[in-house]
């Protein structure tokens, strides 16, 4: 009897987790039991990292200590800067993948897969990730990397290292919320890939590098960049109808819509929608938000009955663009937010490990006679 093929592992439960809970039917997302809406509105990325890695919200002292730990781990070795310089012409995600991989050469605990060491490494990778992305971005522009600023929080310091300018509080908070919304999301493709690597009893650096490589595709982390490219192609709200009709009629997809798990609206989108609206008005460029609104409120309305709604990436690109961030950096920002989630998934995998190794049903030819090369036509 032919085996049942679970193509794309749709609806397959791989394991149990205490990391995040998703109810795709109603659009609900919890990190460690806490609703994403409460975290996006009231928390900070530093607090969310702590919550994910240690399983509970920190008290004031715990958060202050954890924040200093992150701040003190931001510097990357000069050798890694040299590596980034060598690959300065590559895509920022490729540079991030290479930079994180290079960090393994300098991490004293690289082969220690205990939960404690994995969490310590996850904290270091979370702290150093923004330094890699910002340093590479500066190097490719022919500029010197900017050293981390210990007076700024995680989001603010990243913007500072990118632009060599201390960002205002509002801008810092925008990126802080964006990082919170991207921090963890169950068995998404990149976390699954990271778990597969961890399941071979490899190590966290390798697993995070796997995660970055998997996140890069437009079906996963690359959607925000594609949405902004679409908005730029549309140009003005009055062109949106024609653009969407042509794209959808030719069988194309509108990026930033649809999700493997959500059949209702992705709960993360709400927080970026309001922020994208406010920012585009504040910057005197309301047309970007108007284009997105047209796509959501007109073009994609018929898709709602099929469970296709906006996802987290639909409004993210517009925000990054308005903050002056180059479009090929958008996925890297997603990756920087996701390092804590990948770390937690690896801790769980290492703690109760089984090699992840599914089967493929063979559909090729069988038992062919081997013909020596001199007898082949
Ligand atoms: N625009 C138009 N049609 C769509 C879209 C879309 N964005 N997404 C899905 N569909 C249609 C698709 O054409 C298919 O139709 P049919 O059944 O007639 O062939 C149906 O919906 C099911 O699509 P699928 O690809 O089989 O569904 P999936 O669960 O494998 O896809 C997805 C999930 C995210 C890959 C897909 O919705 C997509 O390509 N979306 C655009 C890319 C995107 O925004 N990705 C970011 C996801 S959220 C961030 C993250 O966590 O990664």
Mean pLDDT score, 226-250: 94
> Which residue(s) pair with 306 in the sheet?
none
Residue 251: other Cβ atoms inside 10 A: 6
Q: Which helix (H) or strand (E) holds 217?
A: none
pLDDT at 361: 96
Q: Which two tokens stand for residue 182?
A: 């991207």
φ and ψ at residue 367, rounded to 5 degrees: 50, 45
pLDDT digits (tens, 9 = 90+) for 280-326: 999 999 999 999 999 999 999 999 999 999 999 999 999 999 999 99
Whether 188 lines ligand 1, by a CB cut-off of 6 Å, is yes
pLDDT digits (tens, 9 = 90+) for 1-32: 889 999 999 999 999 999 999 999 999 999 99
- Which of 253, 264, 300, 310 for mutating ligand 1's site (highest number of atoms within 8 Å of CB)? 253
For atom 8 of ligand 1, the residue with the nearest CA is 258
Atom of ligand 1 nearest to the CA of 260: 29
pLDDT at 1: 84
Confidence at 38, pLDDT banded by 50, 70, 90: very high
| 188 CA → ligand 1 middle, Å | 14
Mean pLDDT score, 97-104: 98
Q: Cα–Cα distance between 30 and 80 in angstroms, integer? A: 36
Whether 308 lines ligand 1, by a CB cut-off of 6 Å, is yes
For atom 34 of ligand 1, the residue with the nearest CA is 259
For atom 50 of ligand 1, the residue with the nearest CA is 220
Mean pLDDT score, 120-129: 98
- Is 182 among the residues known to form the active site? no
φ and ψ at residue 235, rounded to 5 degrees: 80, -55
Q: Cα–Cα distance between 204 and 212 in angstroms, integer? A: 12
**Among the listed residues 19, 11, 5, 12, the one whose alpha carbon sits nearest the alpha carbon of residue 348:** 19
Please state the pTM of the whole predicted model: 0.96
Q: Cα–Cα distance between 221 and 366 in angstroms, integer? A: 39
**Percent over 90 (pLDDT), the chain:** 99
| 233 CA → ligand 1 middle, Å | 21
Q: Which helix (H) or strand (E) holds 34?
A: strand 34-35
pLDDT at 259: 95
Whether 253 lines ligand 1, by a CB cut-off of 6 Å, is yes
Atom of ligand 1 nearest to the CA of 185: 51
pLDDT digits (tens, 9 = 90+) for 144-199: 999 999 999 999 999 999 999 999 999 999 999 999 999 999 999 999 999 999 99
Exposed, middle or buried by CB within 10 Å (0-12, 13-18, 19+), for 262? buried
What DSSP state is assigned to residue 238? G
**Among the listed residues 71, 100, 73, the one whose alpha carbon sits nearest the alpha carbon of residue 87:** 100
Whether 311 lines ligand 1, by a CB cut-off of 6 Å, is yes
CA–CA distances in Å: residue 86 to residues 81, 83, 95, 258, 329: 9, 5, 10, 38, 18
- Which of 225, 248, 258 for mutating ligand 1's site (highest number of atoms within 8 Å of CB)? 258
Q: Report the 3 state secondary structure along 166-177.
A: CCCHHHHHHHHH
For atom 37 of ligand 1, the residue with the nearest CA is 258
CB 3 within 8 A of CB 359: yes
- Is 259 among the residues known to form the active site? yes
Whether 265 lines ligand 1, by a CB cut-off of 6 Å, is no
Confidence at 328, pLDDT banded by 50, 70, 90: very high
For atom 1 of ligand 1, the residue with the nearest CA is 253
What DSSP state is assigned to residue 135? H
Residue of 178, 203, 266, 313 marked catalytic: 313
| 259 CA → ligand 1 middle, Å | 6
pLDDT at 98: 98
For atom 22 of ligand 1, the residue with the nearest CA is 258
Atom of ligand 1 nearest to the CA of 248: 2
The sign one gets for the Cα dihedral 71, 50, 168, 160 is: positive
Residue of 205, 259, 271, 309 marked catalytic: 259
């Amino acid at each position: 009897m032919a085996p049942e093929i679970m193509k794309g592992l749709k609806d397959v439960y791989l394991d149990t987790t205490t990391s995040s809970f998703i109810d795709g039917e109603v659009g609900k997302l919890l990190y460690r039991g806490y609703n994403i809406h409460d975290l996006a509105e009231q928390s900070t990325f530093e607090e969310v990292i702590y919550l994910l890695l240690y399983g509970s919200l920190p008290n004031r002292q715990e958060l202050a200590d954890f924040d200093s730990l992150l701040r003190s781990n931001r510097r990357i070795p000069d050798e890694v800067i040299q590596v980034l310089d060598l690959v300065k012409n590559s895509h920022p995600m490729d540079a991030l993948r290479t930079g994180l991989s290079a960090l393994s050469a300098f991490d004293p605990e690289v082969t220690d897969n205990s939960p404690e060491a994995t969490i310590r490494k996850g904290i270091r990778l979370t702290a150093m990730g923004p330094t890699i992305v910002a340093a590479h971005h500066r190097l490719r522009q022919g500029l010197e990397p900017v050293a981390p600023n210990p007076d700024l929080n995680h989001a603010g310091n990243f913007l500072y290292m990118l632009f060599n300018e201390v960002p205002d509080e509002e801008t810092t908070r925008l990126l802080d919320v964006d990082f919170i919304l991207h921090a963890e999301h169950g068995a998404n493709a990149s976390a699954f890939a990271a778990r597969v690597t961890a399941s071979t009893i490899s190590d966290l650096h390798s697993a995070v590098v796997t995660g970055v490589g998997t996140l890069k595709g437009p079906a996963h982390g690359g959607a925000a960049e594609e949405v902004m490219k679409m908005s730029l192609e549309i140009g003005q709200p009055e062109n949106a109808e024609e653009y969407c009709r042509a794209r959808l009629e030719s069988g194309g997809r509108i990026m930033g819509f649809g999700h493997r798990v959500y059949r209702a609206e992705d709960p993360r989108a709400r927080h970026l929608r309001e922020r994208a609206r406010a920012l585009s008005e504040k910057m005197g460029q309301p047309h970007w938000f108007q284009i997105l609104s047209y796509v959501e409120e007109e073009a994609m309305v018929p898709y709602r009955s099929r469970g296709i709604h906006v996802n987290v990436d639909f409004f993210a690109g517009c925000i990054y663009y308005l903050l002056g961030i180059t479009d090929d950096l958008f996925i890297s920002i997603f990756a920087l937010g996701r390092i804590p989630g990948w770390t937690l998934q690896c801790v769980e995998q290492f703690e109760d490990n089984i090699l992840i190794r599914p089967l493929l049903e063979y559909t090729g030819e069988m038992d062919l006679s081997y013909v020596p090369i001199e007898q082949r036509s």
